[in-house]
Amino acid sequence: MNLYYEDQKEEARRRAADFLESRLPKFFGYFEHILARNPRSQHYLAGARLTYADLSLFQVNAGTSYAFPKAMANSARRYKRVIELSRRVQDRPRIAAYLASDRRIPFNTEGIFRHYPGLDAS
């Protein structure tokens, strides 16, 4: 059954709280650990060169930051390596040009990452 957010606000709040408390720390914590323990990945997840894994983690970080801006701001120190990696990715000249272009579709309430203020942690 597909319900709109407005039809399931209470369940959405419960699920978002569980995501922020359980899933987000597990997911971001894993990548934080990978970046901390791999001496060859001083700049990226798998060595000194950008990979699809880095691009994917950047997009997940950007989308999660859009969906849950307060929660992500509160977690910034905990996931500093992931955030630094995301900054390195977005600062690459060609990626920065793409992000600034009209070709990049902005996050919205129709995509996979959606922002509903009532679901964000304070």
Classify residue 73: in a domain, yes or no: yes
pLDDT at 4: 81
pLDDT tens-digit series, residues 10-66:
888 999 999 999 999 999 999 999 998 876 656 888 888 899 999 999 999 999 999
DSSP H helices, 1-122, are: 9-18, 24-37, 52-67, 69-74, 80-91, 93-100
Angle formed at CA 22 by CA 116 and CA 85, multiple of 5 degrees: 80
The mean pLDDT value for 63-70 works out to 96
Residue 119 has pLDDT above 70, yes or no: yes
Classify residue 5: in a domain, yes or no: no
Lowest average pLDDT, out of 5-19, 57-71, 82-96, goes to 5-19
Classify residue 16: in a domain, yes or no: no
Classify residue 32: in a domain, yes or no: no
Please give the tally of structural domains in the chain: 1
Residue 1 has pLDDT above 70, yes or no: no
Q: Which domain holds residue 81?
A: 44-122
- pLDDT, averaged across the chain: 90
Classify residue 102: in a domain, yes or no: yes
Tokens of 103: 């070709």
